[in-house]
Amino acid sequence: MYALDQRGHGDSEWSRDGDYSTDSMAEDAIAFLLHEEIEQPIIFGHSMGGMVTMTLLKRAPTLAQAVVLVDIGPEVSADGTATIRRFIESASEFDDLDEFVARVQAYDPFRTREHIERTVRYNMIQRADGKYVSKNDRSRGYTPQEEGAVNARRITLGDVRTFPCPVLVVRGEQSNVLEADAAERFLQALPKGELVTVSRCGHNVHSQNTLGFLAAIGPFLEAIEA
C-alpha cells in the first residue's frame, strides 16, 4: 500500500516551476506507478486527490483495476469548495499548535480534539522563526482548492462514461462539496459505478466517520478481490 503526498503537499518537494495543475499531479501518479512497476492498482482519491484520480483515468483509462473516489465528482458545489478555500487560507500560520487545533475544531465538528491533535504533525511544521505553518507551498500564491476547482471542470460526466474499471463513489451524508443530486448523476454516468453514502460525516468521510468509511469500502474491495 502506498500513500503519496501530492507535489507541494506534506513532505513532498515543492514544484520548482510552480506547476500545481491537476494534470501534472496525475502525471506524477502515472510516472510513480510505472517506475515501481505497479500493475492494476486500486486507487483511492479524496477531494483534490479524487480530481487527480479522475484525470489519471482520463489519461490512462486501463491503468487501474478499480477506483474509490471519496466525496468528489465532476460536479462540485461552488459554496462548499469556497468554504474549504476560506478555511485553508485562514489556517496557514500560527504562533502555537493549540490555536491551529481550535481553528480545526471550529471548522470540523465531526472530529474529536484528540483526533485532530494526533494528525497535527501531518499538517503543520515549525518554521525557523518559531511559527507553525501548513505543509503547502504558498510561495507562489498557490491555493490548493482554487487550483483543484479550476481543474475539476476539465472532467465532465461525458469523460467518466469512458472509465472502464469499477468505481466506488463514497459520499458524506452532510457533505457540502458533493451534493446528493450531483452524486446520483455521477453514478448514472459511470459504466461500472457504485455509490455509498456514509452517515454522521461531511466532506472528510474517512476522518470524520472512519468506521463508516471502512464499512462502505469493504464490500467493494472484497468483490474486486473475488
Give the three cell numbers for residue 118: 494526533
CB 75 within 8 A of CB 186: yes
- Pure H helices in the chain: 22-35, 48-59, 78-90, 97-107, 113-123, 144-152, 157-160, 180-189, 205-208, 210-225
pLDDT along the chain (226 residues), means of 10: 88 85 94 96 96 96 97 95 86 87 91 89 88 79 46 79 97 97 98 98 96 98 93
Concatenated DSSP letters for 160-208? HTT--S-EEEEEETT-SSS-HHHHHHHHHH-TTEEEEEESS--S-HHHH
pLDDT at res. 220: 98
How far is it, in rounded angstroms, from Cα 207 to Cα 166? 24
Residue 155's Cβ-side half-sphere holds a number of Cα atoms within 13 Å equal to 30
Those residues whose C-beta lies under 8 Å from the C-beta of residue 161, and which sit 6 or more positions away, are 189, 190, 191
Those residues whose C-beta lies under 8 Å from the C-beta of residue 55, and which sit 6 or more positions away, are 22, 23, 25, 26, 151, 154, 155
Give the three cell numbers for residue 191: 459504466
pLDDT at res. 148: 44
How far is it, in rounded angstroms, from Cα 208 to Cα 29? 26
Those residues whose C-beta lies under 8 Å from the C-beta of residue 170, and which sit 6 or more positions away, are 68, 69, 70, 71, 196, 197, 198, 205, 213, 216, 217
Strand partners, 168: 68, 194
CB 113 within 8 A of CB 101: yes
Listed as own residue / partner, the contacts of 98-102 with beta carbons closer than 8 Å and 24 or more positions apart are 100/124, 100/132
How far is it, in rounded angstroms, from Cα 20 to Cα 226? 37
pLDDT at res. 93: 85
pLDDT at res. 140: 53
Give the three cell numbers for residue 190: 459511470
pLDDT at res. 204: 95
CB 58 within 8 A of CB 155: yes
CB 70 within 8 A of CB 152: no
